[in-house]
Amino acid sequence: MKTRIFFVDKNVDDLSTYPQIIEAASYLKRDELVAFPTETVYGLGANAMSTSAVENIFIAKGRPSDNPLIVHIATKEQLYDVACDIPSVAYTLMDHFWPGPLTLVLPKKDAVSPRVTAGLNTVAVRMPNHPIALALIQASGLPIAAPSANRSGRPSPTTAKHVLDDLDGRIAAVVDGGATGVGVESTVIDCTSAIPTILRPGGVTKEEIERVIGAVDIDRALVEKEAVPKSPGMKYTHYAPKAPLVVVYGSPSFLQQVVNEKRASGFTVGVLTTEERRDTYEADVVIACGRRSDLRTVAKQLYDALRAFDETHVHFIYSEAFPNEGIGVAIMNRLLKAAGYQQMMEK
């Protein structure tokens, strides 16, 4: 199967009647897979009500079957097709953050394929803040199950090229709408617990949520490695480049020492840093990922930087650590999972 590419300018007026959008939506109506841009990463979409369509997501990605998916909707009316018994706190969060990178875990309706929810009695739902995503969902008339459009375990895709690098020939089509914005996936919050609980950090920070609804809990799996996570994208190693990655806590001089020792053993070494420190390190490959002074730029460029190392054939990658606050919580979560929790700390 050859993957079709639909080029779409997100700034076009009335995207819902754009021929490429209509044709891409026709694939979804036929239960085929279509990758499309959101404000976070590219998603791999399928009809959330069709078990056979959703099954194809797991096949194309090589995704473990017990890893649930997020359902994407274009209107609040669509929410009632997939969720029920919606608590008031969820409506408050929708009013403040939808459309946007916040996923709500809610009681599910039986019409949703059990393959979407991995057999759970809840469903994760979000409304993406991207004109192409919204137009495609509306044109299909379906709630769309859509994990990130990459092979399972690889860095999430922020461009159509990343999608094709992983899934060309494995999916029906990709809508190329250019690079995504936020760069890391949505925040996932469980609205079914007594106190809303963040299951995955992402594009909306804990601080932003608490300013709206008050105190929230953090899932144990985010702070205890052995705890069982409840959120999509958190149970298995993800986001990993081909070379082993280690996150280094400490001064630039300590990281340089680590690099020197590895290079002295005959290995080629890459360093993941920021614009401010691009010229600080001597290594075989140095890739700057945004600005430390604005961590949202790091989040936006993180996956692209991790994939860029795959083109260099380095043996090892060492990454600086980032402040574990605000959007930095999501950055460090993704980095540590990409590294398989391999870390070094300056003594």
239 is in an annotated binding site: yes
**E strand spans, 219-345:** 245-249, 269-273, 285-288, 316-320, 343-345
Structure tokens at 109: 């309706």
303 is in an annotated binding site: no
CA-nearest of 94, 95, 111, 112 to 103 is: 94
16 is in an annotated binding site: no
- Contact (Cβ atoms closer than 8 angstroms) between residue 48 and residue 112: yes
Alpha-carbon gap, residue 150 to 40, rounded angstroms: 14
Q: Which helix (H) or strand (E) holds 175?
A: strand 173-176
How buried is residue 95: exposed, middle or buried, by Cβ count under 10 Å (0-12/13-18/19+)? Answer: exposed
Q: Which helix (H) or strand (E) holds 254?
A: helix 252-264
146 is in an annotated binding site: yes
Q: Tell me the C-alpha to C-alpha distance, in Å, between residue 301 and each of 57, 198, 289, 340.
A: 25, 23, 6, 20
334 is in an annotated binding site: no
Structure tokens at 221: 């799996």
Alpha-carbon gap, residue 191 to 121, rounded angstroms: 13
Alpha-carbon gap, residue 302 to 317, rounded angstroms: 14
260 is in an annotated binding site: no
152 is in an annotated binding site: no
Q: Tell me the C-alpha to C-alpha distance, in Å, between residue 292 and each of 155, 158, 207, 256, 343.
A: 21, 20, 19, 18, 20
156 is in an annotated binding site: yes
179 is in an annotated binding site: no
Cβ-based neighbours of 30, under 8 Å, separated by 6 or more: none
63 is in an annotated binding site: yes
* Known binding-site positions: 40, 63, 67, 72, 122, 126, 146, 148, 156, 186, 200, 239
Q: Which residues are annotated as a binding site for L-threonine?
A: 40, 72, 122, 126, 146, 186
Residues at the binding site for ATP are: 63, 67, 148, 156, 200, 239
